[in-house]
Amino acid sequence: VKCIGILTSGGDAPGMNAAIRAVTRSAIYNGLQVKGIYRGYRGLVTGEIKEFKSQNVSNIIQLGGTILKTARCQEFTTPEGRQIAYDNMKKEGIDALVIIGGDGSLTGARVFAQEFDVPCIGLPGTIDNDLYGTDTTIGYDTALNTILDAVDKIRDTATSHERLFFVEVMGRDAGFLALNGAIASGAEAAIIPEFSTEVDQLEEFIKNGFRKSKNSSIVIVAESELTGGAMHFAERVKNEYPQYDVRVTILGHLQRGGSPTAHDRILASRLGAAAIDAIMEGQRNVMIGIEHDEVVYVPFTKAIKNDKPIKRELVNVLRELSI
Ligand code: ADP
C-alpha cells in the first residue's frame, strides 16, 4: 500500500475531525500518501478527491463536524455505482481506504471489499455507540455530555414548575445515550428500545419511580420506532394520568454538534493511528475498536448489525438511585 484514501460517511459525529487528523498524520509518518475523499462515498463516485498533507489537518482536533463533509450516497448501494467508485480510486492511485462512519457506512465498506480487492479499514464514528466490538464510538462521549448540559438546564425549569418532562435523545434503536444520559443527569427514568417489547416502561416508571414527594421528574426517551418517542409517552400520560403537568423537549441535532471531549479526541487519535498500523500489518476489512483500553480488530461482519448489549447493571443503578 502506497496511498490511502480517507472519508467520513453517514451521520456526523464530534471527533471525526480528530480521527481524520490522526489517520492523515499517522499515514504520512509511515511514508504513505493520503487523499481526502469528500462527502463520503459520494466523493468516490464523483471523484471529489484531494491530496492531504500534514497541514491540511492542522487546527481541526477541537472542531465538531467533519472537514471532509459527509453524505448519504444512493449510487454506492448499486454495483454500478461501486464500479465507478473503484475506477475513480484506481485513477487517483488510492490502494486502501479508511472509512469513518456508523453501521451503514461500514456495511458499505464491507460490500465494497467483497467485490474489489481493496483493503478497507473502518473506524467507529457515530454518537449512537451502536457498533459492536468497541467500548465506545467516536462522538458518543461528546453527545452524552451535551445531553447532560441540556438536562441540567431542563431540571431548573422542571423543578420550578413541578413538572414531568420527557426529554427525547438520539440513539437510533440503541439506548446507550438515553440510559447513561439518565444516570449522569440524575433523571428519574430512561425509556430505551432494548426493553420496549419486554415491559411497559412507562407503567414501571409511574409505579416505581415517580413519587408525589418529588417536585419534578425527568424521563429520558430514546428516539426510536420501538419506543415511539417522547411525544408518544407525553400523550399517554396526558390521557392516563391527567393529574401530571407534562412537557416534552426533543434535543435533536444539537446532540451531533460541539467540540469533542477529551475522551473522544483521545479515542479518535488512537483509532486513527491504529488504522494505519493495521494497514501496514496487512489487515483488511476490519473495524478498529478499543475494548478494555486495548486496540482490537473487529471483522466488519461482527461489528455491524450485531446488537450490542445494554448492561442490566446500568438499568439497576438508574432505578436504585432515582428513588
Ligand atoms: P451511518 O454510517 O451513519 O449508519 P447510513 O446508514 O446513512 O449512515 O449509511 C451511509 C452510507 O453508506 C449510505 O448512504 C450508503 O452510501 C452506504 N451504505 C449503507 N448501506 C450500504 C449497503 N448495504 N451497500 C452499499 N452501501 C451502503
> What DSSP line would sit under 128-167, residue for residue?
T---TTSSS-BTHHHHHHHHHHHHHHHHHHHHHHT-EEEE
H helix intervals, 186-296 = 201-204, 229-240, 262-280
- Least confident piece of the model among 107-121, 146-160, 210-224, 293-307: 210-224
Task: Decide if the complex's ipTM is over 0.90.
Answer: yes
CA torsion angle 168 169 171 174 (round to 10): -60
Q: What is the pLDDT of residue 225?
A: 92
* Mean pLDDT score across all residues of the chain: 95
The conformation of residue 308, written as its DSSP 8-state character, comes to P
Q: What is the pLDDT of residue 239?
A: 95
Q: What is the pLDDT of residue 213?
A: 59
Q: What integer is the mean pLDDT of 256-278?
A: 98
Ligand 1, CB within 6 Å, residue ranges: 9-11, 41, 72-73, 76-77, 101-105, 107-108, 111, 126
Q: What is the pLDDT of residue 216?
A: 85
Of 66, 70, 76, best ligand 1 pocket probe by most atoms within 8 Å of the beta carbon: 76
Q: What is the pLDDT of residue 207?
A: 78
Q: What integer is the mean pLDDT of 78-96?
A: 98
Instruction: Calculate how far, in angstroms, residue 206's C-alpha sits from the geometric centre of ligand 1.
Output: 39
Q: What is the pLDDT of residue 64?
A: 98
Q: What integer is the mean pLDDT of 125-137?
A: 97
**Residues catalogued as catalytic:** 128
| pTM reported for the whole predicted model | 0.96
174 or 323, higher pLDDT:
174
Instruction: Calculate how far, in angstroms, residue 36's C-alpha sits from the geometric centre of ligand 1.
Output: 19
Of 98, 107, 140, 256, best ligand 1 pocket probe by most atoms within 8 Å of the beta carbon: 107
Instruction: Calculate how far, in angstroms, residue 108's C-alpha sits from the geometric centre of ligand 1.
Output: 5
Report d(CA 164, CA 158) in Å as an integer: 7
Percent of the chain with pLDDT over 70: 98
Q: Whose CA is nearest to atom 19 of ligand 1?
A: 104
* pLDDT single digits (tens) 37-56: 999 999 999 999 999 999 99
3-state SS, residue 77: helix
Instruction: Indicate whether 257 pLDDT > 70.
Output: yes
Give the C-alpha distances (Å, rounded to integers) separating 145 from 35, 51, 151, 302. 32, 34, 10, 28
The conformation of residue 10, written as its DSSP 8-state character, comes to S
Report d(CA 146, CA 256) in Å as an integer: 9
Percent of the chain with pLDDT over 90: 89
Identify the band that residue 199 occupies on the pLDDT scale cut at 50, 70 and 90.
Answer: confident
Identify the band that residue 323 occupies on the pLDDT scale cut at 50, 70 and 90.
Answer: confident
Of 8, 66, 70, 72, best ligand 1 pocket probe by most atoms within 8 Å of the beta carbon: 72
